[in-house]
Structure 1
Amino acid sequence: MAPGGFFGRALVVDVRGTRATGTPLELDDRVLRSYLGGVGLGTWLMHRLAPPRVDPLAPAAPLAFVFSALVGTPLTTSAKFAVVAKSPLTGLLTDALASSQFAISGKLTGHDAIVVRGRAEELSVLLVDGGEVRLEPAPELAGLPAAEAETAVKERFGRGWRTAAIGPAGERGVRFATISHDGRHAGRGGLGAVLGGKNIKAVLVRAAARVRVADQAGVLAAARDLRERSFGPATAKYRELGTLANLLAFNAVSTLPTRNFTAATFEGAPALAAEELHELRGVARNSCASCSIGCEHIYSRKGGGSQRMEYENVFALGPLCGVSDPDDVFAASARCDELGIDTISAGGTVAWAMECAERGLIDEPWLRFGDGSALLRALDAIGAREPGLGELLAHGSRRAAEAVGQGSIAFAPQVKGLELPGYEPRTLQAMALGLAVNARGADHNRSGAYEADLSGALDRLEGGVAHVAAAVDTEDRAAVMDSMILCKFLRGVFEDPFPEWARLLGLVTGWDLDGGELRVAARRIVRAKRAFNLREGATAADDTLPARMLETPLELGSGRSAALTADRLRSMVAGYYVARGLDEDGRVDPADLADLLLEA
């Protein structure tokens, strides 16, 4: 019998032509306990099912929707799932987390993961009804935004289904296309393009099973306690203003990337700040499925309608592109949702193109920092893959810079091909290390080292040994939270996280866990991610930052500057390798490979 919270099997769906077949893949207790579910289990599945060096957009490349033991329990924020695949943007492992009823229904098909391979003959939808799968042609959905596709499939198949869909950008293979569901997005790394490469517009799931927990009374008591703590001061910022509260705070400490990382403060920040928008445009606050925090803040849009705004989409489509008009930023965010593209990669790629245009490296004189209409025009070109600029930018900033040449790779805002989030590495040097070494590329959710930088416990402008320890610790915590899966906004409510997480997981599964075992699992998951990337051709040379961050000091005003040298970053990376038990080239010790259970 599988442990509580799990079914002990994944469903591997092979799509060929007009048919789909599902085959169960047994997951034994050892694999589940070693990888926990979510991102961890998805990483193991990629090792097992992805052919080495497979093209991410090829039919043979697997895409996995992965659940965890906590999905379907009353624990707050547990209605989350991971989507894991090889990224068409980076060529390496990628994963994205999302919250919605799709997570609950997907798990209650009776599987801990649903893995899709192959390619349909024409644009289709895939239906998973318990252990039964079928493929239905859906050419009428071509070109629709994901939200409209969801509405259409509900009308066609009924309301008992939950849907994850792609927008037109995913159909067209834009390398940073998203997968959307209930207005939320599995956003980073181009997972929508992977699904589009299979000619699948949407995946529909319908619950057909019930999940057992080991200690029902204990889980209910823990859920009540966690819910009460979720209303405390650790989550107040998210409830009151949402993540957009970071904008003015980051601007004040010179860590708000502006105009393609040429500055770290933005004169237009107050107009985009949560404090201003809350007073003038605040409409509502909303929650993800099974969440008591309610971090989602909805704002009114010019001309009618509303838009959910968060720090990362405002940063990427606002300061990073020099755009300060809220209406332009709102419209750009809405356009990304309609097209189905990641706002961070979209903003970063367009910001790079704006700098190229201003330097005369590309012949697009209309594309200028601060021009909201130019931003929207560029987004439309990307979504349509228009010949010229649209086709160039649809591949992301790294590939675009490689095509343009002329030294433009030095200021392409990416690590391993993934565009940087809204954290300036030169003024947050623990975060700089986290961004450089992370398996997914430049990412703030798999390495929260910025918390250490901003805590005051270390000098954020002088990276060193303490910064290495902070990056390792936050990466370990993220690995566990992303695999259990719990929302990161809960992280502050746990006083002693690893033992507390072990207790929650033990109540659900029946495993006799302690915090030490979860720490070991975290390190295993991080090593397994790196092992996959090494298999796919990654090297230590990829663990770095754009040349701009390492060669150009950042002016802070009053004669002050912040600098992160290549030597300092290399020293921190070397320290990270030692802390992770890697060799000097960042490779996993062969003696550790058996612990990864890759042959299980």
Structure 2
Amino acid sequence: SIGIGGERMVRFACITNDRNRQVGRTGMGAVMGSKNLKAVAVRGTKAAGVADLKALRRFCKILYERCQGSATEKYRKYGTPANVLVHNKLGCLPTRNFQQSTFEHANKVSGETMLRTHVKKITACDICPIACDHVNKVDEGRYKGAVASVDYESLWSLGPNCGVSDLNAITKAVEICDTNGIDTISAGMTVSFAMECYERGLLKKEDTEGLELKFDNADAMVEAVRLMSRREGRLGKLLAEGSRRAAEIIGRDAWKYAMQIKGMELAGYSMRSLQTSTLGFATSIRGACYLRAGAYQYDIKGKVDRLRLDSSRGRLVKGGEDSYAVIDSLIICKFSRGVYKSEEELARLYRLVTGLQMNGKDLIKAGERIYNVGKLINIRHGWKREHDYPPWRATHEKLPDGPAAGAVIKMAEYDAALDSYYRARDWDKQGIPSREKLSELGIAGERMLKSSWVARALGRELLSPKICVSKRGA
């Protein structure tokens, strides 16, 4: 179902399922709202068949036991907010609209502090043994009674990203987002964008209708979220457009401070101190999404030099994207890290459920096929190489603080890394898949080439791009 945010077509409205689980990004709630569709309800009458139920139960028991292991321990105890102090220590916690990479009040909003002061209940998705969902309740003060599930991305985007260290205010802001049905990441990012514009004089008090929209102002953050989620007032209507469109409306240099790629706001990983992650953000077929490649893991785990880019990163990002496409298609949670030992185990799970014979290599090829189809859709709508670049700040402003101070993405290194990504995918310099690659993946058969949108994409009959306009290096 959708909330009032979807009904009023806030650009990043989400679809909610099971009370507090969302199709959070890309504005699917606004699409439903545009069709005057409030909700979809389905009642099944038949059981789903399983090819080998006994073997599946035996295998699931093994997986269940692994879920109790060390790889998922921090999520069971603290939830994803366990990452706050880790990221702050590494200098990769984006702060005040990505101007900084450390937050001086990180201890006040850490998973450890939240568990001690605000968490009232730990819950899980149906039969999940990890239970990463930590439910906050505010017991005192202005926002007394507010209740919300607060994960890392919500905590970060409405907290450090806005300079806010008040867990009461953050919990209230998340509650507003959930109640009205808007994405917490884009909500926090759009507010932080507006805060920077206000502090730089690009927005005036008359634009905010008297709201002192400065960083560190917790009450102003909450009120901006409320207005935005309902498209109320001059400020609410502006911010409901998201940071990219709001920047176009504001004009002047506002576009420099919209931390978005392909129209979607960045998630909570510093661009300049996690540079493989940034390549993954930029090449994602749906915008700045950390769940399309999980490329941050290579930086955070020290597998690469995270403060620079080279031609080895393209292969890493491509591999992550293909694997994540498989995981999404199998409808498996990405927090089950360390539970599945290899693609062969995923293939085993697939065989036990469906009875279809497929090995690990077959699965990864399916993931590659999925990603190429998504890319073709983007090409058809005019998205080119220029849309696979990070925001202006990443390549023009050095980090001023923390262990990664001085880090900036060098354009020559980024171009080389992007070229290496295209080569790994067998795409040309503009990111267009080769006919040979599509044929290998079973996408470009003769019938499809002659009659479908695939042919139009390959022929580069591109539509005018209306969704994301990149301003590289201006």
- Is 1:334 aligned to 2:179, yes or no? no
Decide whether the 8 Å contact of 1:429 with 1:467 is kept in 2: no
Indicate the residue corresponding to 2:464 in structure 1.
none
Give the aligned residue type for 1:171. Answer: E
Q: Distance in 2 between matches of 1:566 and 1:409?
A: 19
Which of the residues 443, 450, 456 maps onto 1:596?
443
Measured after TM superposition, the shift of residue 386 of structure 1 is: 2.5
Indicate the residue corresponding to 2:354 in structure 1.
509
Q: Distance in 2 between matches of 1:551 and 1:216?
A: 56
Indicate the residue corresponding to 1:262 in structure 2.
99
C-alpha distance after superposition, 1:297-337 (max 9, x if no partner): 12221323532111000000001111111111111111111
Measured after TM superposition, the shift of residue 491 of structure 1 is: 2.8
Indicate the residue corresponding to 2:145 in structure 1.
304
- Is 1:571 aligned to 2:407, yes or no? no
Decide whether the 8 Å contact of 2:123 with 2:132 is kept in 1: yes
- Is 1:482 aligned to 2:323, yes or no? no
Q: Distance in 2 between matches of 1:255 and 1:558?
A: 9
Q: Secondary structure at the match of 1:345?
A: helix
Q: Secondary structure at the match of 1:307?
A: strand
- Is 1:290 aligned to 2:137, yes or no? no
Indicate the residue corresponding to 1:248 in structure 2.
85
Indicate the residue corresponding to 1:10 in structure 2.
none
Give the aligned residue type for 1:535. Answer: R
Indicate the residue corresponding to 2:70 in structure 1.
233
Cα distance, 1:274–1:557 mapped onto 2, change above 3 Å: closer
Cα distance, 1:459–1:398 mapped onto 2, change above 3 Å: same
Cα distance, 1:535–1:225 mapped onto 2, change above 3 Å: same
Q: CA RMSD in A?
A: 1.6
- Is 1:220 aligned to 2:67, yes or no? no
Which of the residues 4, 12, 17 maps onto 1:176?
12
Measured after TM superposition, the shift of residue 556 of structure 1 is: 3.2
Q: Distance in 2 between matches of 1:488 and 1:557?
A: 29
Indicate the residue corresponding to 2:27 in structure 1.
190
Q: Distance in 1 between matches of 2:69 and 2:101?
A: 32
Name the count of aligned residue pairs.
435
Indicate the residue corresponding to 2:260 in structure 1.
414
- Is 1:345 aligned to 2:180, yes or no? no
C-alpha distance after superposition, 1:380-411 (max 9, x if no partner): 22122234221111111011111111111112
Decide whether the 8 Å contact of 2:121 with 2:134 is kept in 1: yes
Indicate the residue corresponding to 1:469 in structure 2.
315
Map 1:53-72 onto structure 2 (within 5 A). none
Give the aligned residue type for 1:172. Answer: R
C-alpha distance after superposition, 1:217-252 (max 9, x if no partner): 111111111111111111111101110000011011
Q: Distance in 2 between matches of 1:495 and 1:255?
A: 28
Decide whether the 8 Å contact of 1:301 with 1:307 is kept in 2: no
- Indicate the larger mover: 303-312 or 581-590: 303-312
Map 1:389-404 onto structure 2 (within 5 A). 389-404=235-250
Give the aligned residue type for 2:165. Answer: S
Give the aligned residue type for 2:336. Answer: L
Indicate the residue corresponding to 2:456 in structure 1.
none
Decide whether the 8 Å contact of 1:458 with 1:466 is kept in 2: no
C-alpha distance after superposition, 1:15-45 (max 9, x if no partner): xxxxxxxxxxxxxxxxxxxxxxxxxxxxxxx
Unaligned runs of 5+ in 2: 206-210, 453-474
Cα distance, 1:442–1:559 mapped onto 2, change above 3 Å: closer
C-alpha distance after superposition, 1:502-533 (max 9, x if no partner): 11101111122111111111111111111111
Q: Distance in 2 between matches of 1:403 and 1:414?
A: 15
Map 1:80-159 onto structure 2 (within 5 A). none
Identity within the alignment, %: 41
Give the aligned residue type for 1:291. Answer: C
Q: Distance in 1 between matches of 2:403 and 2:152?
A: 28
Indicate the residue corresponding to 2:300 in structure 1.
454
Cα distance, 1:220–1:535 mapped onto 2, change above 3 Å: same
Indicate the residue corresponding to 2:468 in structure 1.
none
Which of the residues 377, 392, 399 maps onto 2:223?
377
Decide whether the 8 Å contact of 1:282 with 1:297 is kept in 2: yes
Cα distance, 1:244–1:519 mapped onto 2, change above 3 Å: same
Q: Secondary structure at the match of 2:289?
A: coil
Decide whether the 8 Å contact of 1:551 with 1:566 is kept in 2: no
Indicate the residue corresponding to 2:397 in structure 1.
552
C-alpha distance after superposition, 1:88-130 (max 9, x if no partner): xxxxxxxxxxxxxxxxxxxxxxxxxxxxxxxxxxxxxxxxxxx
Which of the residues 462, 480, 499 maps onto 2:344?
499
Measured after TM superposition, the shift of residue 597 of structure 1 is: 6.5
- Indicate the larger mover: 395-404 or 383-392: 383-392
Cα distance, 1:171–1:367 mapped onto 2, change above 3 Å: same
Q: Distance in 2 between matches of 1:466 and 1:577?
A: 12
Indicate the residue corresponding to 1:541 in structure 2.
386
C-alpha distance after superposition, 1:555-574 (max 9, x if no partner): 23589411112222111111
TM superposition score normalised by structure 2: 0.89
Decide whether the 8 Å contact of 2:298 with 2:304 is kept in 1: yes
Decide whether the 8 Å contact of 2:435 with 2:444 is kept in 1: no
Q: Distance in 2 between matches of 1:432 and 1:485?
A: 25
- Is 1:434 aligned to 2:271, yes or no? no
Decide whether the 8 Å contact of 2:161 with 2:192 is kept in 1: yes
Decide whether the 8 Å contact of 1:263 with 1:555 is kept in 2: yes
Give the aligned residue type for 2:4. Answer: P
More strand by share: 1
Cα distance, 1:559–1:230 mapped onto 2, change above 3 Å: closer
- Indicate the larger mover: 461-470 or 567-576: 461-470
Map 1:263-282 onto structure 2 (within 5 A). 263-282=100-119
Measured after TM superposition, the shift of residue 479 of structure 1 is: 0.8
Q: Secondary structure at the match of 1:425?
A: coil
Give the aligned residue type for 1:227. Answer: Y
Measured after TM superposition, the shift of residue 280 of structure 1 is: 2.1
Give the aligned residue type for 2:225. Answer: L
Q: Distance in 2 between matches of 1:528 and 1:325?
A: 43
Map 1:203-218 onto structure 2 (within 5 A). 203-218=40-55
Q: Secondary structure at the match of 1:465?
A: coil
C-alpha distance after superposition, 1:35-89 (max 9, x if no partner): xxxxxxxxxxxxxxxxxxxxxxxxxxxxxxxxxxxxxxxxxxxxxxxxxxxxxxx
Q: Secondary structure at the match of 2:213?
A: coil
Measured after TM superposition, the shift of residue 592 of structure 1 is: 3.7
Q: Distance in 2 between matches of 1:352 and 1:200?
A: 31
Indicate the residue corresponding to 2:459 in structure 1.
none
